[in-house]
Amino acid sequence: MTMEQPISTSANHGDLKPIPTRFTRSRRAVAWTIHLLTASGSVCCLLSIDAGIEHQWRAAFAWLALAVFIDAIDGALARAVGVKEVLPHFNGEQLDNIVDYASYVLVPAVLLYRAELLPTAWAWWAVAGIAMASAYQFCQSDAKTPDHYFKGFPSYWNVVVLYLLAMKLTPIANLIIVLSLIALVFVPIKYVYPSRTPHFRKLTLTLASLWGIALIAIVWQLPEPSTKLVFGSLLFVAYYLGISLYLTFHRPRSIG
């Protein structure tokens, strides 16, 4: 049923009336604006690559951070407006997945390669592995499970590459981390979806917000962020991994 023929509140289905054209057009305009907002994340990706080619790491990750912010708000806006009903012939979820793959996978892989953080002989193969494994993960029908978890490592490569750049580990250590995370894409651990996983949601969102502030500070301090800030922020990563493992193997029956 199209927006021009909405479900009537009348008990008599013969009384269905089209909603006013002006209202329909305004809803459609808002829906297209939200899709445009989602698509703008791809522009952030292009700007991030451009900055990364010039080794302007603060700008590169700032653009990626903006892409993540857009990704964080566009879904809620789309659900509030009901874009699926307003624009039933446009697949907003597919658009979102395309932009997400660029901002969470392809662009970070390019930055990782340009930053020369991996052993030279392995660099190209490692970033190719990131792209291929994440393409597999994105195409799994249960990549986002019905109970609101990510199945397998959820391609947070933007965060991974930021940490590798900030921690200044050896290329071999970086390679081990990257290959381990590629392997975890195929391991059916359920990772918390911070905004939607019901268990411990308030605690997770609170800690995630503090962590997000820390990451913004790390980006601002690039290319020489505070070591204490970098390693201190990893406490949330430890919490995230720990709670994901706990909920995978011993999930509470009631919301915690």
Where do the domains of the chain lie? 20-249
Element (DSSP H or E) covering residue 192: strand 190-192
What's at 221, amino acid-wise?
A: Q
Nearest one of 188, 179, 208 to 196, comparing CA atoms: 208
- pLDDT at residue number 61: 98
- pLDDT at residue number 147: 83
Residue-wise over 195-212: b if at least 16 C-beta within 10 A, else e? Answer: eebebbbeebeebbeebb
Largest CA distance in the chain: 72
Nearest one of 29, 19, 32, 23 to 90, comparing CA atoms: 32
Tell me the pTM.
0.85
Q: Where in 94-176 does DSSP place strands (E)?
A: 149-151
192, β-bridge pairs: 149
Q: How far apart are CA 82 and CA 178, in angstroms?
A: 39
- pLDDT at residue number 75: 87
- pLDDT at residue number 145: 84
Q: 215 burial class (0-12, 13-18, 19+ CB within 10 angstroms)?
A: buried
- pLDDT at residue number 206: 95
Nearest one of 129, 128, 115 to 54, comparing CA atoms: 115
Structure tokens at 167: 């921690």
User: Where do we find the tokens 């021009």?
Assistant: 4
- pLDDT at residue number 158: 97
Residues of the chain with pLDDT under 70: 1-23, 251-256
Structure tokens at 106: 């392809």
Arch. (CATH architecture) of 20-249: Up-down Bundle (1.20)
- pLDDT at residue number 143: 85
